A and B are shown apart, each in its own frame.
Chain A
């Protein structure tokens, strides 16, 4: 299977070209832009989740996934996230793990497992952020709202403080602690004003834009209606 990320950093789309019959990719529900009619689409109720959590609790979005399977060589599939911004792909080897904000998940090859019940999840979840532990062997595609900015911690930098609304993910090996900071403008959502202190060695990914800030901007333009 070949994949190409096009139109970064503003409106990225991934073009997948299946090489063999049976080649598969798992995607977030709603990610499909276009596909060869011969590509089979199946909804994954179980999902690839190691834990029981299938539905994201922040908001009512489901983490249902679709599996696309090629029925002939050369078939193509285009997938894209809902938010404006970039898509990045990383390859995971057995033993490696990456922690990813669930809203950033776009797609993965079948060998990857997404676990929402890892030991550190609760700390982030208390702040309204669902982080998935991703492991296995394969490729992971994730999206950022805005551009994706990578920060390497270790020699050059010993620690970083990140606004949780901008946190996309990080590699294992980093120590993390979530705390509330006074003085940060609190928007109307719970969990705002939360940051994570990172230290150790590894990489963290930030997105340059902030979904809560966009929601705050758009809120006055909503129709007023009975609830």
Chain B
């Protein structure tokens, strides 16, 4: 596997070339282009060895996610039996960061996941009942294993080292070390009296990745100029 980041940091476009035996698992919404010999299978994300109940849970979560206004978690399983490459980028642009996976566990907001290659396990984690009503993520994606992971930010990507307790606006949160404890805070619907939406409190020691822009805040800002 070889990868290249073009037009970083503001319009990052990830170019990945695959060896014949490799599989790239990419969020279906990020595929921009691919070379003709590439094979793409669309799968509902349900972990590496999903049993019936895991699949049912994933389906249930995907439906609820759609109702609550989020994306359905479908993945493209991309293979290149005779070699080839794909180009990936989320439609709302920004930075893409490569994270080498060496056995650590990370929790991602689903919109942040771009792709992974290797022996990588993706599990859907329920983030709590309160979050179902928020416009932002109702669940988290747990990523673990050995291989390569790419995450995307809307805007620039900032890394915060947490040693204690840190509160992050949910719309700006991309990913964090799974060793951190997390708790959903704030209003269940829309904005609270402070003008801030839901937030996540992260406690312990570990890294947090945040994006410097927020799609919902952008929409709110544009909405003020609409007829």
Known: A59-B225, A215-B226. A34 touches B212 (CB 8 A): no
A41 an interface residue at 8 Å Cβ cutoff? yes
Known: A10-B156, A61-B224. A35 touches B167 (CB 8 A): yes
Residues of A within 8 A of B218 (CB): 82-84
B201 and A78 contacting across the interface, CB-CB below 8 Å:
no
Known: A36-B164, A36-B165, A82-B217. A30 touches B212 (CB 8 A): no
B166 and A6 contacting across the interface, CB-CB below 8 Å:
no
A37 and B164 contacting across the interface, CB-CB below 8 Å:
yes
Known: A211-B221, A214-B222. A7 touches B212 (CB 8 A): yes
B55 an interface residue at 8 Å Cβ cutoff? no
Name which residue of chain B comes closest to A222, CB basis. B226
A186 an interface residue at 8 Å Cβ cutoff? no
B51 an interface residue at 8 Å Cβ cutoff? no
A189 and B225 contacting across the interface, CB-CB below 8 Å:
yes
Known: A13-B156, A29-B195. A83 touches B221 (CB 8 A): yes
Q: Which positions 169-227 of chain B face chain A at CB distance < 8 Å?
A: 169, 172, 191, 193-197, 201, 203, 208, 210, 212-214, 217-218, 220-227
Residues of A within 8 A of B223 (CB): 59
Known: A29-B196, A58-B224. A37 touches B166 (CB 8 A): yes
Q: How far apart are the CA atoms of A219 and B177 in the complex, in Å?
A: 39
* Nearest CB of B to A101, in Å: 13
Q: Which positions 1-32 of chain A face chain B at CB distance < 8 Å?
A: 6-7, 10-13, 15, 28-30, 32
Residues of B within 8 A of A62 (CB): 195
A158 an interface residue at 8 Å Cβ cutoff? no
> When the two chains form the complex, which single residue of A11, A64, A82 contacts B221, counting CB atoms closer than 8 Å?
A82
> When the two chains form the complex, which single residue of A30, A34, A61, A219 contacts B208, counting CB atoms closer than 8 Å?
A34
Q: How far apart are the CA atoms of A212 and B227 in the complex, in Å?
A: 10
Known: A34-B169, A211-B225. A6 touches B158 (CB 8 A): yes
Known: A11-B155, A33-B212, A38-B165. A64 touches B195 (CB 8 A): yes
Q: How far apart are the CA atoms of A64 and B194 in the complex, in Å?
A: 8
A80 and B212 contacting across the interface, CB-CB below 8 Å:
yes
Known: A13-B156, A34-B160, A36-B165. A43 touches B221 (CB 8 A): no
B110 an interface residue at 8 Å Cβ cutoff? no
A156 an interface residue at 8 Å Cβ cutoff? no
B213 and A80 contacting across the interface, CB-CB below 8 Å:
yes
B172 and A33 contacting across the interface, CB-CB below 8 Å:
yes
Residues of B within 8 A of A12 (CB): 212
Residues of A within 8 A of B196 (CB): 29-30, 32, 41, 66
* Nearest CB of B to A14, in Å: 10
Top-9 shortest CB links A-B: A29-B195, A59-B224, A11-B155, A37-B165, A215-B225, A7-B156, A82-B217, A82-B221, A13-B212
| A-B CB contact pairs (8 Å), 16 listed | A6-B156, A6-B158, A30-B195, A32-B169, A33-B172, A33-B210, A36-B164, A60-B224, A61-B224, A66-B194, A66-B196, A82-B213, A82-B218, A83-B218, A214-B225, A219-B226
